[in-house]
Homo-oligomer: A and B are copies of this chain.
Amino acid sequence: MKSSFKRYVIGKPLRSDTLGEQKLNKRKALAILSSDALSSVAYGPEQILIVLMTVSTVAFWYSLPIAVGVVVLLAALIFSYRQVIFAYPHGGGAYVVSRENLGVNAGLVAGGSLLVDYILTVAVSVSAGTDAITSAFPSLHPYNVFIAVFFVICLTLLNLRGVTESASILAYPVYLFVAVMLILIGVGIYNVATGQVPAELSPKVGTPVAGISLFILLKAFASGSSALTGVEAISNAIPNFKDPGPKNASKTLLAMGGILAVLFIGIVSLAYFYGIAPNAEETVVSQIAEASVGRNFFYYIVQGTTAMILVLAANTGYSAFPLLAVNLSKDRFIPRMFQIRGDRLGYSNGILMLGLAAIILIILFDGATEHLIPLYAVGVFIPFTLAQAGMMRKWWREKPKGWVAKFAINTIGAVISFIVAMMFFVTKLPQVWPVFIFLPMIILMFHRIKKHYQAVGEQLRLNNEELPNVEGNVFIVPVAGITKVVENTLHYAHSLKVDKIIAFYVAFDQDDAKAFEEKWKAWQPDVRLVTYYSPYRSITQPLMKFINKVEHQCVKTGHQVTVVIPQFIPKKGWHHMLHNQSSLLIRATLLFNKNVVIMTVPFHLTK
């Protein structure tokens, strides 16, 4: 039953040799890998205006040059990452580039930041999408956390079904969002161009603003740059592309950059021309839509697709996180389980871990994950900077044909990314300080895990010292009564070549001990019975004590102690609740604390 439910939700298992069919074409890849970046259009422009408003609404004209700055940074990043794609065609993005060129620790800083960042992406975007929905239907507001968690579960299941399947489903809303935004921008610009929008709504470009400072402008620029998160996702996910992977990935990256630039500039311009000020009740996009087309059917389509794209932005995390985890896991910095492909050939452990971590964050922050946005942005610009710096180093060392141009592009990318990262640290320290705690912790953890794997490898490797032979065997059979289960176990024990079989009984009072000994002698006169009285009603403690005693003898003669547990297996699952699970406890305690072999001899009940 459990398995058929799983099949229904996730789909039938796929054979390993059908992996090739699970690759993405450019159209689908653009949809699932760019949703994060494109969704930033819904909040990036607003972030700029919020900072400018702290001075005065007259300062809003600065949003235009700031948007141009953001687009320049975007272009630098797109071209830089395009070079990363061709230089590292197997994917891995910032982690691999930094590790190869700047050393392991730089790689771990980049990888650790991104790993945490994808979790934040999921939590932040799903919460933002949920907010958009509950703003439209305020009666749903009390269920915010519940709805957000529900979306995360849906996305997790969809991704467990496999990357092509999720791409096929998610392509529609992403392209719909792009189309709707382009129409909105088109209509808005037409209105402005035909003079239907009063010019006095917008402050003249160049108007002097009292109280404006470079610090404010940089802060606004940094806030706007949060729209660029997600740009690196394609470089992580090259293995998911149809052949030729790097070429397809690069084209997809350029297409994404183009669309993002148009939408970003478009929304910022409309906000400027319509003189829109951010307010807590209504988003900037909603105000723009209302101003340009009114509260008609199209307005609700704008709102609906915006909510959808915010939720789907999370999907970029689902595409990139598992592949990054595979890379870290191959280098043994995180558990091996992240390399295992699930039933549908996706890296299901990574997908599940991402979903789980996002749900925990959403619940912990009670759905108010907007406090995490600065943390999330700085977590992106650190790996951006490291990746570009790594590429600079690569070109400088290898000096291939035409390296100067390549070096120049990456240098521009590195410098701007570094400046943005620094701006975040300077302007938003109260929100980003946790980076200084969790990044070192994560990197320490990476190293400890690697060290453990190395130690295990050494201990498991065959070497010249052969293990000593087992000279003989002593079986200890803990018995709880005189039953068929015990009879069955003794039959089995007798069939193996054993030097000694000892039955062991724990009595809770002294009279019981004597009575049991007599009954045993009558039933199994040839099997020695040892009885311990347990004043504190524990079974494990007396057993451990007895094993210690027996082991003390066995060590001298090279004998191995084996504990043989008689266990009846009920016919139905719920029956287990009705029986003491002491055998499980005994097994776990002995296995981890003593050098004894544990045997479970089952006796299956038939009704």
Contact = CB atoms under 8 A, between A and B. Distances in A.
Interface of A: 13-17, 335-337, 340-341, 343, 449, 452-453, 455-456, 459-462, 466-473, 481-485, 487-488, 491-492, 494-498, 508-509, 523, 535-538, 560, 562, 567-570, 575, 577-580, 587, 591-592, 595-602, 604-607
Contact of A17 (B336, B494, B535, B580): B535
B473 A461 contact: no
A303 to B, nearest CB: 32
B491 A470 contact: yes
A492 B509 contact: no
Copies in the complex: 2
11 contacts: A13-B536, A15-B536, A336-B578, A336-B580, A449-B578, A459-B606, A461-B483, A467-B488, A470-B491, A569-B591, A591-B600
Contact of A492 (B483, B485, B597): B597
A469 B497 contact: no
Contacts of A598: 599-600, 602
A28 to B, nearest CB: 25
Given A336-B580, A598-B599, A602-B595, A467 B491 contact: yes
B579 A336 contact: yes
Q: Which of A460, A569, A592 has the most CB of B within 10 A?
A: A460
A493 to B, nearest CB: 9
Contacts of A340: 537, 580
B578 A459 contact: no
A467 B492 CA distance: 11
A256 to B, nearest CB: 33
A346 to B, nearest CB: 12
A357 to B, nearest CB: 15
Nearest to A335: B578
A562 B470 CA distance: 19
A592 B573 CA distance: 9
A18 to B, nearest CB: 9
B460 A483 contact: yes
A259 B426 CA distance: 70
Given A487-B462, A536-B343, A577 B335 contact: yes
Contacts of A470: 491-492, 494-495
A492 B599 CA distance: 13
Contacts of A487: 462, 466-467
Contact of A16 (B341, B488, B536, B596): B536
Given A17-B535, A452-B575, 17 more contacts: A13-B536, A14-B536, A16-B509, A16-B536, A336-B578, A336-B579, A452-B570, A456-B579, A459-B606, A459-B607, A460-B485, A466-B487, A469-B491, A471-B495, A473-B496, A492-B560, A598-B602
Contacts of A460: 481, 483-485, 568
Contacts of A509: 16
Q: Which of A456, A567, A575, A587 has the most CB of B within 10 A?
A: A456
Nearest to A497: B497
B462 A483 contact: yes
Give the top 7 A-B pairs by smallest Cβ distance, nearest first: A497-B497, A470-B495, A460-B483, A15-B535, A13-B536, A496-B496, A599-B599
A382 B34 CA distance: 65
A341 B607 CA distance: 30
Given A335-B578, A483-B462, A455 B607 contact: yes
Nearest to A576: B592
B467 A484 contact: yes
Contacts of A580: 336-337, 340
A127 B580 CA distance: 33
A225 to B, nearest CB: 37
A379 to B, nearest CB: 24
A89 to B, nearest CB: 23
A556 B447 CA distance: 54
A599 B592 CA distance: 15
A536 B597 CA distance: 32
Contacts of A481: 460
A607 B523 CA distance: 46
Contact of A462 (B15, B459, B482, B601): B482
Q: Which of A471, A495, A569, A607 has the most CB of B within 10 A?
A: A495
Contact of A469 (B471, B485, B495, B587): B495
A486 to B, nearest CB: 9
Nearest to A469: B491
A206 to B, nearest CB: 51
A461 B449 contact: no
A597 B595 contact: no
Nearest to A448: B574
A597 B599 contact: yes
B607 A602 contact: no
Contacts of A455: 605, 607
A519 to B, nearest CB: 11
B495 A560 contact: yes
A250 to B, nearest CB: 30
Contacts of A459: 484, 568, 605-607
Contacts of A569: 591-592
Nearest to A17: B535
Contact of A597 (B497, B596, B600): B600
A405 B461 CA distance: 86
Nearest to A485: B460
Contacts of A538: 13
A388 to B, nearest CB: 33
A453 to B, nearest CB: 7
